[in-house]
């Protein structure tokens, strides 16, 4: 069990970093998203938007590393579930997070171009911005599906491997 301790500590640290950076990403970008001129006002808070976007990327990458680090432990029981967890929670979720970050950076670029062009041609910029926002929402939906499937695989491995405390296992057996 001592061999798992180092992995457990690293996974815990990554989980904390990912969770905190995800919350902070929302804190940084929420005021800009709440503005009446959103999405064409993103360049007004450029630094704040960039920090929030980079925090979202940090969240995605750190949380994607969790199943990768757990893979050697989990594959001893079920290589298929362990590989599936890495694929869904690691690879697919990280790809979705990178695509979301790219759409957020593109939204900033469109806002900057709109600021230079002036309000004369606002409809085209609004349409393009709306398309990027919609793309981000679809990416989040696909990422949520990948997250859910991968998480179910990890939960199954936790349960079978005995990492889940017996009280929680008994509770899930009674409710399930």
**pLDDT of 73-91, one tens digit each?**
889 888 999 999 999 999 9
Residue 172 maps to a domain:
no
Residue 173 maps to a domain:
no
Residue 148 maps to a domain:
yes
User: pLDDT: is 94 or 174 the higher one?
Assistant: 94
Buried b (16+ CB within 10 A) or exposed e, 108-146: bebbeebbeeeeeeeeebeebbeebbebbeebbebbeeb
Taking the C-alpha atoms of residue 99 and residue 172, their distance in angstroms, rounded to an integer, is 35
Residue 176 maps to a domain:
no
User: pLDDT: is 5 or 99 the higher one?
Assistant: 99
Number of domains in the chain: 1
Residue 171 maps to a domain:
no
**pLDDT of 20 over the 60 cut:** yes
Does the global pTM surpass 0.75? yes
Residue 81 maps to a domain:
yes
Q: Residue 26 belongs to what domain range?
A: 2-166
Summarize the confidence of residues 137-164 as an average pLDDT: 87
User: pLDDT: is 116 or 164 the higher one?
Assistant: 116
Residue 147 maps to a domain:
yes
Q: Where are the alpha helices (DSSP H) in the chain?
A: 2-33, 46-74, 79-85, 93-117, 122-161, 166-175
- What is the pLDDT at residue 41? 83
Residue 175 maps to a domain:
no
């Amino acid at each position: 069990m001592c061999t798992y301790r180092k992995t457990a500590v690293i996974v815990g640290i990554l989980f904390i970093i990912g969770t905190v950076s995800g919350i902070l990403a929302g804190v940084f970008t929420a005021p800009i998203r709440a503005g009446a001129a959103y999405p064409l006002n993103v360049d007004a808070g450029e630094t704040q938007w960039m920090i929030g976007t980079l925090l979202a990327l940090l969240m995605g990458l750190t949380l994607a590393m969790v199943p990768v680090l757990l893979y050697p432990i989990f594959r001893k029981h079920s290589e298929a579930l362990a590989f599936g967890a890495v694929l869904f929670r690691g690879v697919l979720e990280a790809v979705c997070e990178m695509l979301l970050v790219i759409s957020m950076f593109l939204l900033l670029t469109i806002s900057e171009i709109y600021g230079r062009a002036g309000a004369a041609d606002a409809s085209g910029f609004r349409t393009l911005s709306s398309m990027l926002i919609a793309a981000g929402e679809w990416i989040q939906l696909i990422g949520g599906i990948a997250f859910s499937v991968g998480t179910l695989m990890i939960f199954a491995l936790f349960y079978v491997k005995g990492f889940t405390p017996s009280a929680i296992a008994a509770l899930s057996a009674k409710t399930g």
